[in-house]
Structure 1
């Protein structure tokens, strides 16, 4: 199994993704008025959920979250930071979305890379990159009793930026152009696409000629 990035760089990219996703989970817990234990649980699930799913699928067992102390401690650090330094309530929602977008960008790249390193095809690697990026956010929303952003038509596009980032990573692998600069650029691309979707209200289309007697729900 050839590694595209050095183990040290891959490790720090993973920790960075876990941290920013964990921040979004802890901030959502504050908005939902959870206690400190609930904050820690939501931070851990958000930061580690997608990576755990990826590692189980590709057979990287036991998952890194259970063998590397840094993976377990990072969500706790994020929880402590949010517990003491969270922004004013009216600004929490925006902070959640920004950190979530950052995690989405990082994990669609690292998830695709690791899946391909374990022998998956480029297409399967990109799919697993999407699952890595979106999995933690889906679990976070479910535990917070919210419909996952991934499934809501009335929320700005969520999966599309991750799909773009994962697909771009797969293309870079195919062209043997993987390096820290290109991977950073790909993560930033997915991040910016998500922020633009939030800024301009981009949404995925619903069923053609949709008919429903029920009013739209938000």
Structure 2
């Protein structure tokens, strides 16, 4: 039940961020919904494919489609108000990253994969939808740029795995892990932390 709640909240948040990006790119309402769906469902579908879950969870339950569609349409209808909430949107994206990382890692662990595999799949679930969104908009995916994004997701996934191996209660571990992802992501934005890039490329 906890995983389902986390995933539905994450779906709404990621769909909203994808829809806002689509509005800024001046896509029509269909394009906004498609990009919202892609951002929301992309990471989960990649996770399920890697784990051999067929068909993917999001294609077996209508709720997984209705929630992101509703969020995308909401952004389309009220995009001027949403666009003014830039910091709130960034925070929402960070929350979505944390929620999907936690649910992706927990889902992977439930299938019995090794710890390192669960960490990688959890990170992929967190960053996959955003990467697909950026590719559809013909942008370099955020995860491949200098901003601290994938590392924040990986940190949260590691905490989930450690908590499961030690035997800590699942709910507190999920909350703490998601909070760690959000904290790292928000601090990176606030302090403008970036991963290093190769030097001398402008010479």
Instruction: Provide TM-score, normalisation by structure 2.
Output: 0.94
Measure, in 1, the Cα distance between the counterparts of 2:28 and 2:126: 26
> What does residue 151 of structure 1 align with?
144
Q: CA deviation at 1:76?
A: 0.6
Structure 2 match to 1:161 = 152
How far apart, CA to CA, are the structure 2 residues paired with 1:76 and 1:99?
A: 17
Q: Determine which of 170, 181, 192 is the counterpart of 1:190.
A: 181
In the TM superposition, what are the counterparts of 1:65-84 in structure 2 within 5 Å? 65-84=58-77
Q: Deviations over 1:40-80 (max 9, x none)?
A: 01100000000001101111111111110000111111012
Deviation at 1:93, TM superposition (A): 4.7
User: Hey, what does 1:4 align to over in structure 2?
Assistant: none
Structure 2 CA distance for aligned equivalents of residues 61 and 51 of structure 1: 12
Q: Contact 1:31–1:93 (CA<8 Å) still a contact in 2? A: no
What is the rounded CA distance, in whole Å, between the counterparts of 1:60 and 1:90 in structure 2?
A: 36
Structure having the larger proportion of residues in helix: 2
Contact 1:30–1:39 (8 Å) recurs in 2: yes
Once the two structures are superposed, residues 115-172 of structure 1 have per-residue CA deviations (whole angstroms, 9 ceiling, x without a partner) of 111111111000000000000000001111211111112xx21111101101111111
User: Are the aligned partners of 2:159 and 2:173 in contact in 1 as well (CA < 8 Å)?
Assistant: no
Q: Could you tell me which of 84, 98, 101 is aligned with 1:108?
A: 101
Is 1:175 paired with 2:147?
no
1:23 paired to 2:12: no
Q: 2: CA distance between counterparts of 1:167 and 1:90? A: 33
Written as runs of structure 1 = structure 2, the 5 A alignment for 1:2-151 is: 8-88=1-81, 91=84, 93-151=86-144
Q: Which runs of 5+ in 2 are unaligned?
A: none
Greater mean alpha carbon deviation, residues 95-104 or residues 179-188: 95-104
**Cα distance in 1 between the residues matched to 2:106 and 2:160:** 7
One of 184, 192, 202 as aligned partner of 1:201: 192
Contact kept in structure 1, 2:20 and 2:83, CA below 8 Å: no
Structure 1 runs of 4+ with >3 Å offset: 87-90, 92-96
Aligned equivalent of 1:211: 200
Deviation at 1:88, TM superposition (A): 4.3
